[in-house]
Amino acid sequence: MNTVDGPKVFQRISVLGAGAWGTALALNAARAGRDVVLWGRDSATLETISTTHQLPAYLPGITFDQPLETTTDLTEAADADCILLVAPAQVTASIAETIGLYVRKGTPVVLAAKGLEKGTQRMMSEVLADYLPQAVPAILSGPSFASDVARGLPTAVTIAAPSLPLADKLCASLSSQTFRPYASTDLVGVQLGGALKNILAIACGIVLGKKLGASAHAALMTRGFAEMQRLALKLGARSDTLMGLSGFGDVALSCSNHQSRNFAFGFALGEGQTLSDLMAPGAKLSEGAYSARVACELATRHGIEMPVAQAVADVLEQKCSIDEAVIRLMSRPLRAESEQTIKQN
């Protein structure tokens, strides 16, 4: 296996998860010149990818510019220099546990889910440590839509790893003419930026779907980002990470664009669609719908106020209506905008 001190890139890369994002990342790795194998459970989907070079269910209208090797065999997929684990946050544990017998010690496993685990409040790196302790965790996150990456449109992301040499090597392995990764060692900040912005994207979608206006949208995005920072910093994130691609950059992309599943989910709620329809089997995944309550639990544990996240969680749990949530947010006690202002006085 390649090591950080060995070849300059990880040549054989496995991508676990043949949905939109996993397929897009596999395509990018192939463009970067890597030997790629894409693993999925559904043989019919993999056959479509292999024979038609398309994935119409997830990436409609896109014909892939690179052939992709596919497999349903986890032992084959685990035989790699580097693994990209591209699965929803709530099933990351089960996949990590399943491949645990096959992954070699020291293999970097790059986690691409932007979520927090319900019930345990764990970040994805903590899930990996429990189920794949022999692997080295890394995180890929940032302002990126699967369709853009699949089409080869310019995209920049952050890749965080425990050491800068490993982060640099992962970036070199996945860098292509249209995909620019930036290295980081802030695993906590990169993970929380992605997970928490999903909750804010739902809130912003609700505001615009409810036709509450551009002013309300701007205010909500700003105050929501502030509470994201409060919690993330308390949990050990770095402020520069939160102002970078995997924090502010992802907020800017996801909080006003219908390509964002979380924004589209919130927009549909604001327009009056029912929660049961939006979360029915087969509906598009909204990671923020699962992370909202987890973020509130973490905030309570650490004494952090997150009124926007709390409002989203309460609406999703049908503890209050959207109108009631808006009134509650607008009725909060008046205060200084920043903690620095409070300290100065």
Identify whether 163 is part of a domain: yes
H helical segments located in 81-160: 89-99, 124-131, 146-151
CATH of the domain at 210: 1.10.1040.10
Asked if pLDDT for residue 268 goes beyond 90, the answer is: yes
pLDDT bucket at 342, cuts 50 / 70 / 90 = low
Q: Select the more confidently predicted residue: 3 or 259.
A: 259
**pLDDT tens for each residue of 70-91:** 999 999 999 999 999 999 999 9
Q: Is 15 helix (H, G, I), strand (E, B) or coil?
A: strand
Q: 242 lies in a domain?
A: yes
Q: Collapse the DSSP code of 42 into the 3-class scheme (helix H, G, I; strand E, B; otherwise coil) and give the result.
A: coil
Total tally of structural domains belonging to the chain: 2
Query: What's the confidence (pLDDT) of residue 332?
Result: 79
Q: 290 and 234 share a domain?
A: yes
Domain boundary pick from 160, 185, 210 = 185
Tell me: do 262 and 208 sit in the same domain. Answer: yes
Q: Rounded to 5 degrees, what are φ and ψ at 17?
A: 125, 105
pLDDT of residue 331: 84
| pLDDT band per the 50, 70, 90 thresholds, residue 283 | confident
> Is there a domain that residue 199 lies in?
yes
Q: What is the pLDDT of residue 343?
A: 60
Same domain assignment for residues 211 and 305: yes
pLDDT band per the 50, 70, 90 thresholds, residue 135: very high
Look at residue 2 in the predicted model and tell me its pLDDT: 46
pLDDT mean over 182-191: 98
pLDDT reading at 284 higher than 90: no
Give the pLDDT score at 154: 98
323 in the same domain as 205: yes
Residues 179 and 210 occupy one common structural domain:
no
3: in domain: no
Catalytic residue status for 197: yes
- Of the candidates 185, 203, 229, which is a domain's last residue? 185
Q: Which domain holds residue 174?
A: 12-185
204 and 292 inside one domain: yes
Going across the sheet that includes 179-184, the strands are 69-71, 35-39, 12-16, 82-85, 108-111, 136-141, 155-160, 179-184
**Same structural domain, 181 and 201:** no
Q: How far is the C-alpha of 221 from the C-alpha of 235, rounded, in Å?
A: 21
- Residue 111: CATH number of its domain: 3.40.50.720
Q: Do 181 and 270 belong to one domain?
A: no
**Token output for 179:** 């995909």
Residue 320: beta bridge partners? none
Residue 6 counted as domain residue? no
What's the confidence (pLDDT) of residue 344? 53
Average pLDDT over residues 269-277: 93
Do 22 and 152 belong to one domain?
A: yes
As a whole number, the mean pLDDT across the chain is 94
User: Helices in the chain by DSSP H: which ranges?
Assistant: 20-31, 43-52, 74-78, 89-99, 124-131, 146-151, 164-174, 187-209, 214-234, 239-242, 250-254, 261-271, 275-278, 287-301, 307-316, 322-330, 339-344
Per-residue pLDDT at 189? 98
Dump pLDDT digits (tens) for 18-74.
999 999 999 999 999 999 999 999 999 999 999 999 999 999 999 999 999 999 999
Strand 155-160 with 136-141, pairing: antiparallel
293-315 pLDDT, tens digit per residue, is 999 999 999 999 999 999 999 99
pLDDT given for residue 150 in this prediction: 98
DSSP 158: E
45 and 127 in a single domain? The answer is yes
Residue at 55 is within a domain: yes
Q: Determine, yes or no, domain membership for 282.
A: yes
178 and 201 both lie in a single domain: no
Is residue 166 domain-shared with residue 234, that is, in the same domain? no
The active-site residue out of 197, 211, 234, 284 is 197
Query: What is the per-residue pLDDT across 91-132, written as a single tens digit (0 to 9) for each?
Result: 999 999 999 999 999 999 999 999 999 999 999 999 999 999
Q: Determine, yes or no, domain membership for 239.
A: yes
Q: What is the per-residue pLDDT for 338?
A: 72
Residue 3 has pLDDT above 90, yes or no: no
pLDDT of 328 strictly over 70: yes
CA 64 vs CA 54, 84, 168, 243: distances in Å: 6, 19, 27, 33
Overall pTM > 0.75: yes
- pLDDT value at residue 1: 44
Q: Residue 335: what pLDDT?
A: 74
